[in-house]
Structure 1
Amino acid sequence: MLFYEDTLCAFLKVLAERAPDQPMLGCESGWLTVRQVLERVESGARQLHKVGIRPGDYLCIPAQRTVNTCVVMLCLQRLGAVAVLTDPRGEAAAQLKSCEAAIPIKYYLTMNQDVSRPVATLTSTATGKDLCLSMRKKAAGAEVPPFADAKAPGFLIFTSGSTGAKKAVMISQYNLVNDLMDTRELGYYTQDDVALGALPLDHIFGLVLLAGTMVLGYRLYFPKTTDIPHILEAVSTQGITRMNGVPSLYLAMAAEKEKYDLRSLRAGFIAGGPCTPGQFRYIEEALEMTLIPAYGMSECVGITCASYRDPQQVRACGVGRFYPRNTWAILLEDGGEAAVGQTGEICVDGPTRMVGYFGDGSPREALFHTGDLGYVDGEGILHLTGRKKDIIIRNGNNISPLVIEDALLSIQGVTAAAVVGLPHPTEGECPAAMVVCRAEIYQTLPQALGSRVQKNLVPALFRRAEALPMTGSGKTDKLRVREMLLQCQGQ
């Protein structure tokens, strides 16, 4: 199996030779062509090299969904420096402290939104002095040495922390390129694709979307905000053909689609959260698009992916087949391999596997243990059944929260659900559920759920909410859900 070792900037240069005037990165104020992006990347890299940025240096960037942020991230990849991507909604220093090992940041970047000002301000951690990054067409300074080590760390992103402590994950350009090459024949791409940039760039799902502009050659447009009206307006006015999204994003779009012309929208990857077959069919029918389930994580980028050619009943019920370039195993508690249809822990290796956790000197195991549970059916399709550490042990019986969540979502009128385990004085642990539904539906939830699952799966505690707490990437924040339900339990 062929593995790709070219850098993102190598792909960008090839694309510039083939289609220099093709729009590449766009927003409300307009588009940059491939040639313009390459010129700005070379100019910015020369300025950064002049002030001493070298391969392996760490620069912290608030990952705003803007064209300028993308260009600066590519400048760092051109140099072989590491872009430490933080959530722009929070304080960068606080996010960096969530990593046990101290990250040696050389510069903090502040992105400027005013187009009349330099693109970014760099603040040195050594001197405290500020420098401006302007992106002039021809910046002065020595030529920047070529950088070709695609396997070196290029990005540092933080896991969502939705089920535990955050970790700093080192991702290489090699990881991103090979992920895209594995999905190239599966993802329903065409030469005129315009992708929607609605996902955060500090999340692996959004980062892959940016890399695809160079590797697969599509255009990427960033809507003004991620409010549903702005997203739908962007699809309508920009001719968006494809997107990446979590189920909650697609469901929200489907609920408000009537005011907009969404006929251009053709395909989208869906990942990052549970989606029942009924919800899957509803999204496809409402948005008149093809959904392509995928499964991955910060540590492994892509693990499995369905094909757009698979029939709906296949795509709606699993997360696809393992990538051709991956090796994998479903392992039981005793270390043995699971049989077809038998649940175990999903373990993988391959070119999409991270460089490693920052500061972790542990030996690299042959397979990465994802902590996710699932099984492979007779057709080779992976089905997720939950997180290993989320398993609730009630009266000695193992319970998967995902099974209960799926059953709750099958009840008409329930639009979202999250189940966690809470301590119980006699049962050890018990399931507790936070549910988004109308008040009249909430009153009948225990009975409705009891007709769908075994008695020991019915939560001991139900709480209704207007919305589930979410992480920045759109996943349910299970830690916050548990905190809120613990408070309810004590009342």
Structure 2
Amino acid sequence: MTFSPHDLLPAELRRSWVADGTCPGLDLYSLFRARQIADLHHTAVLDAKGKLCYTALDRKVRCLATGLRDLGVREGDVVGVQLPDNRNAVIADLALAALGAVALPFPAGRGPLEAESLLRRAEAVAVIAAIEYRGSHHAADLHALSPGLPALRDVVAVGPGTAPEGTTAWSDLMRADAGDFVPARPDPDSAARILVSSGSEAEPKMIAYSHNALAGGRGNFLASLIPDGKPPRCLFLVPLASAFGSNGTAVTLARHGGTLVLLDHFSPEAALAAMREHEPTHVLGVPTAVRMMLERPAAESEPLPPPTALVLGGAPLDETTALAAAEVFGCPVVNLYGSADGVNCHTGLGGTVPPTSASGVVAGRPDPRVAEIRIAAPVTHEHLPDGQIGEIVSRGPMTPLCYVAAPDLDALYRTPDGWVRTGDLGYLDADGVLHVVGRLKDIVIRGGANISPAEVERELRSHPQVRDVVCVGVPDPLMGERLAACVVARGPGVPTLDILGEHLTARGLERRKHPERLLVVESVPLTPAGKPDRAALKERLAESPRQAQHGVPGAHRTP
């Protein structure tokens, strides 16, 4: 079933970016083939199985593409992919690009209800899934859903293990004779991938990206962090199936001819071991993952091979984490502000740690070769002058085509001339640097007063007894909502709400913004996409109200 999303950007803008060289004007598989031909035996993937060079990877890609073609997958078809981070995920990405199909990756570990929603709304004709991953049986679960998904014809089961009855074994497809395979040549401005974002909607948002937006816009982002122009070696601490992870196959390999260093599952020990063994030039992850790594003794023993950059995004970065990471990893720490919806800005390699301001770590200076950023009035979309706080809006070479099967989201998050409404509040200073100060939606409303969880988290992370913290709003019959701090303690002592409140007062945070509930956790739970799982923390607060309010001295405050 051909997927033909409409482009909300003016066509002349897209054409101008190809004409001036900002975007390559080639599809992802053609770009990858050019890299393969230029350096036949350069290492493309390093995973638990070892090294895989570009030529061996291309051979596997063509076999899978032939097998999928024989199943009936055609140019423009949407195919779901739910695989852990290893070579198979990369092979699937490139095989779908070679067919001109549209990849719909979502991280391994996400449940069947969310998968059903994605596959149904995208009208996916097939899905490639792991037989078993950390106790989940994705292939069997997705096959069980197929009767309710009229467009879904095939479930491809990826081992190890035996393919469930009714599914097609990946190993069978990989034995296909690719001798007569001829790659498709899709329009570079047509859809190549659907990014998935949890957002605040009832169902995950799906955003369609073109070949040019990925290899061009997102490719230019990574290019700005490669000072010597040599192919990068990127260690991804986030799933390739996440929005952040879309900088993997399409950008690191197809655009830059680099190497992907992949972990089937993130753990701080595995990440540190990969840094020592493979010496990546770039490490990409979320601040929570890096804070976990900083707590491991291995990070403080013999020095790690310093990367070119540690790129942190997906959640706000605080100054304390940035300083500690720069010291331990011995490289510049880059703060990346971005989202699946189509915004990107970062602080670059100009300093060891990102600059800060009264609003915390700055987002950086926007790059028009990636995404131009403006500040607009939230209701009228009127362009606001420098220094004035408004909604951050973005438009540029990495801007997506549209939301998938969601005209209501197009109307809500895109302006008539194609700008992406981020829902974030910020301002541009006189030097053109972007400062993010909060979110239009991500606020806790206590008795009619707005509290930014990000602001409170930023200040709490500077407390010596706090290793990590996530603040969430919890329902309250009197005040509507109260702010809860979910804290990972540093050292043997456990902070109390009184101790944290005194710290926040000393930092200049007014009393109404102080947390009124405290939950001490061993670690911050992460979503399959690698971000702090705020929903899980809210559930724990709801399930253990007595513990959260009274289990720690001073853990409950009255209005």
Q: TM-score, normalised by structure 1?
A: 0.89
1:330 aligns with 2:365: no
Of 337, 345, 348, which aligns to 1:307? Answer: 348
Contact 1:186–1:306 under 8 Å retained in 2: no
Determine the C-alpha separation between the residues in 2 that align with 1:209 and 1:292: 17
Between 1:290-299 and 1:98-107, the stretch displaced more is: 98-107
Q: CA deviation at 1:141?
A: 6.7
Q: Which residue of 1 aligns with 2:28?
A: 8
Q: Which residue of 2 aligns with 1:194?
A: 233
1:368 aligns with 2:446: no
Cα RMSD, aligned residues only:
3.0
Contact 2:485–2:515 under 8 Å retained in 1: yes
Determine the C-alpha separation between the residues in 2 that align with 1:332 and 1:215: 36
Determine the C-alpha separation between the residues in 2 that align with 1:138 and 1:383: 52
Helix, strand or coil at the partner of 2:300:
helix
Say if 1:231 and 1:129 are closer, same or farther in 2 by CA, change over 3 A.
closer
Say if 1:184 and 1:42 are closer, same or farther in 2 by CA, change over 3 A.
same
Contact 1:243–1:268 under 8 Å retained in 2: yes
Contact 1:86–1:202 under 8 Å retained in 2: yes
1:252 aligns with 2:292: yes
Between 1:265-274 and 1:441-450, the stretch displaced more is: 441-450
Determine the C-alpha separation between the residues in 1 that align with 2:341 and 2:172: 33
Determine the C-alpha separation between the residues in 2 that align with 1:310 and 1:163: 37
Superposition map of 1:85-234 within 5 A? 85-91=105-111, 93-99=112-118, 102-111=121-130, 125-126=152-153, 128=166, 130=168, 132=170, 134=172, 139-140=177-178, 142-161=180-199, 165-177=203-215, 178-188=217-227, 190-191=229-230, 193-211=232-250, 212-223=252-263, 225-234=265-274
1:26 aligns with 2:46: yes
1:59 aligns with 2:79: yes
Determine the C-alpha separation between the residues in 1 that align with 2:385 and 2:484: 31
Contact 1:294–1:305 under 8 Å retained in 2: yes
Q: Which residue of 2 aligns with 1:455?
A: 511
Determine the C-alpha separation between the residues in 1 that align with 2:378 and 2:422: 14
Helix, strand or coil at the partner of 1:407:
helix
Q: CA deviation at 1:389?
A: 0.9
Q: CA deviation at 1:317?
A: 2.3
Determine the C-alpha separation between the residues in 2 that align with 1:7 and 1:16: 15
Helix, strand or coil at the partner of 1:390:
coil
Between 1:23-32 and 1:473-482, the stretch displaced more is: 473-482
Q: CA deviation at 1:102?
A: 3.1
- One-letter identity of the residue aligned with 1:342: Q
Say if 1:482 and 1:340 are closer, same or farther in 2 by CA, change over 3 A.
farther
Of 375, 381, 398, which aligns to 1:352? Answer: 398
Contact 2:460–2:504 under 8 Å retained in 1: yes
Determine the C-alpha separation between the residues in 1 that align with 2:54 and 2:400: 28
- One-letter identity of the residue aligned with 1:405: E
Contact 1:284–1:290 under 8 Å retained in 2: yes
The percent identity for this pair of structures is 25
- One-letter identity of the residue aligned with 2:182: V
Determine the C-alpha separation between the residues in 2 that align with 1:73 and 1:261: 35
1:409 aligns with 2:431: no
Q: Which residue of 1 aligns with 2:389?
A: 343
Q: CA deviation at 1:304?
A: 0.8
Determine the C-alpha separation between the residues in 1 that align with 2:386 and 2:401: 31
Determine the C-alpha separation between the residues in 2 that align with 1:285 and 1:311: 9
Determine the C-alpha separation between the residues in 1 that align with 2:170 and 2:522: 44
Between 1:338-347 and 1:206-215, the stretch displaced more is: 338-347
Of 314, 318, 332, which aligns to 2:362? Answer: 318
Determine the C-alpha separation between the residues in 1 that align with 2:207 and 2:33: 27
- One-letter identity of the residue aligned with 1:386: G
Determine the C-alpha separation between the residues in 1 that align with 2:383 and 2:543: 41
- One-letter identity of the residue aligned with 1:304: C
Q: TM-score, normalised by structure 2?
A: 0.78
Determine the C-alpha separation between the residues in 1 that align with 2:313 and 2:285: 7
Q: Which residue of 2 aligns with 1:117?
A: none
Q: Which runs of 5+ in 2 are unaligned?
A: 1-16, 134-138, 147-151, 155-165, 550-559
1:271 aligns with 2:313: yes
Q: Which residue of 2 aligns with 1:262?
A: 304
Helix, strand or coil at the partner of 1:284:
helix
Q: Which runs of 5+ in 1 are unaligned?
A: 115-119
